[in-house]
Amino acid sequence: MEFYNYIKALHLIFVITWFAGLFYIVRLFVYHAEAKEKPEPEQSILIQQYQLMQYRLWYIITWPSAVLASLFAFWLLYLIPSWLEQDWMLVKLGFVVLLYAYHIKCHLIFKKLQQNEVKKSSTFFRLWNEGATLILFAVVFLVILKNAINWIYGVIGIFVFSILIMIGFKMYKRIRERNQ
C-alpha cells in the first residue's frame, strides 16, 4: 500500500489527459466541419491540417491515456477491492462504461473525418462535446461525495449550464448572421 498514492496520482493524470484529448478532438471535429464549407484552396489546406492534428491527438494522447487510466484504475481496484461493494463506485463504473461508449463513437467519427466524410454540422459537434463534460461532472461529484445519489445535483447543474451556453451560442449566431 506504500505506493497506492503513486498509482492514484498516475490514474488521475491519465484521466485528465484522456478528457483533454476527448475535449480537443471534438473541437477539431468542429473546425473540420467548418472547413468543409470554405472555398478552395483554403478548404483542402485546412482539412489536411485538421486531419493531421486529429490523428496525432487521437493516437498519441487520447487512446494511450484511456488505456493507461484504465490500467491504473484496475490496479487501484485490485489494491482496494472493497470499493466494488460501494454504490458510488458501481455508479462511477457505469459512467466509465458510458465514457468508453462516447470514446468509441468519437473514434468512429474520427475515422470518417480521416476520409473527409463530414456528415454532421459544427453545431452538432459543439453539442456532442457536452457529453464528455456531463460524464466528467458526474464522475467528479461521485468520487468527491462518495454518494450514489448527490452526484445528480451536480450533473443537473452542468446540464442547465450547458443549455444556457447553447442558448447564448444560438443568440450570438443569429446576431452575427444579421450583421453580415
Which residues participate in the annotated binding site for heme? 11, 92
Identify the band that residue 18 occupies on the pLDDT scale cut at 50, 70 and 90.
Answer: very high
The pLDDT of residue 164:
85
Q: What does the pLDDT look like over 85-105, one tens digit per residue?
A: 998 899 899 999 999 999 999
Contact 91, 148 (CB under 8 A): yes
Q: For position 35, what pLDDT does the model report?
A: 95
Residue 150 has pLDDT above 70, yes or no: no
Considering only residues 151 and 111, tell me which one the structure prediction assigns the higher pLDDT: 111
Q: Which residues are annotated as a binding site?
A: 11, 92
Write down the mean pLDDT value for the chain: 91
- Domain count along the chain: 1
* C-alpha to C-alpha distance for 96 and 22, rounded to whole angstroms: 14
pLDDT over 70, % of the chain: 96
CA-based nearest residue to 106, from 10, 160, 32, 48:
32
pLDDT of 154 over the 70 cut: no
Sequence-distant (6+) residues with CB within 8 A of 8 are: 72, 76
Domain range for residue 65?
4-178
Residue 170: band (very low, low, confident or very high) from pLDDT cuts 50, 70, 90: confident
